[in-house]
Amino acid sequence: MEKLDKLYEKFHASCFGILGVAIFLVGAIPAMFVHNNFSFLTVFISDLAVPGGNDLAFLFSVCWFITGLFMIMFILGFTRFLQEKGASTKGTWIACILSIVSAIGILMLALFNTRDFDVLHDIAQYVFFFPGILYLFSYAYLEYKLSEFPLWQALLNNIVAFFFILYLVLFIINRVDETLLVEAKVVAEWLFLFSNLFWFVETGAFILKK
């Protein structure tokens, strides 16, 4: 922890969250433009990492993986911030572990594309989504308990968690019948992605000001 403390003294935790999002976009936006038939209604996020779908699949996968690493660094710094503000040590570490597990899901999603590693990709989704929902609710509770955080900041976690849950519901329905709500599932995936990216940027900016 001493080495981490020194690192966060040099680089504020928010930098890792904001940089992580920027790196993701560096990989994602060009991949969207060169994708054969990109649409927010038909193309899943993971499709951008499938070789053959576009010429920048490898770039997207690398950026996605780096983003996962940066998110882990942000979460560790955010945990440190919450503890300094008086949040429950046990509660912050539970949220931290859930967050890191979810970030490991991001690393797995970046490594295992849907074409070549279909089963592993599905496992990675569960590793990412379920702990993701839990850590958002955990942070909502921790922030609600701290006077340092306004109510809207705590509520933001629940809003992002809602988009996670919406996607999971549609994911399960689509597993039962692959013809049901396909476009809705794709849109829901992009909604939770952008809401989650926004959470990292907004939370990072918030703690930077504190």
Task: Give me the pLDDT at residue 41, please.
Answer: 87
User: Could you tell me which of 108, 103, 110, 16 has the C-alpha nearest to residue 68?
Assistant: 103
* Mean pLDDT, range 80-88, rounded to an integer: 90
Task: Give me the pLDDT at residue 179, please.
Answer: 75
Token pair of 82, please? 């919450």
Helices then strands, each counted (H, E), the chain? 7, 0
Q: How confident is the model at residue 63 (pLDDT cuts 50, 70, 90)?
A: very high
Task: Give me the pLDDT at residue 70, please.
Answer: 95
Q: Are 185 and 46 in contact (CB under 8 A)?
A: no
Q: Is 144 left (phi over 0), alpha (psi -120 to 50) or beta?
A: alpha
Q: Is the pLDDT of residue 25 over 90?
A: yes
Q: What are the angstrom distances between the C-alpha of 77 and each of 4, 11, 74, 179, 199?
A: 8, 10, 5, 43, 15
What pTM, to 2 d.p., does this model score? 0.89
Alpha carbons 37 and 175: distance in angstroms, whole number: 24
What does pLDDT average to over the chain? 88
- The alpha carbon dihedral of 43, 48, 50, 54 has a sign of positive
Q: Which residues fall within 8 angstroms of residue 166, CB to CB, at 6 or more apart?
A: 188, 191, 192
* Mean pLDDT, range 171-190, rounded to an integer: 83
What residues does 16 pair with on adjacent strands?
none
* Mean pLDDT, range 49-56, rounded to an integer: 80
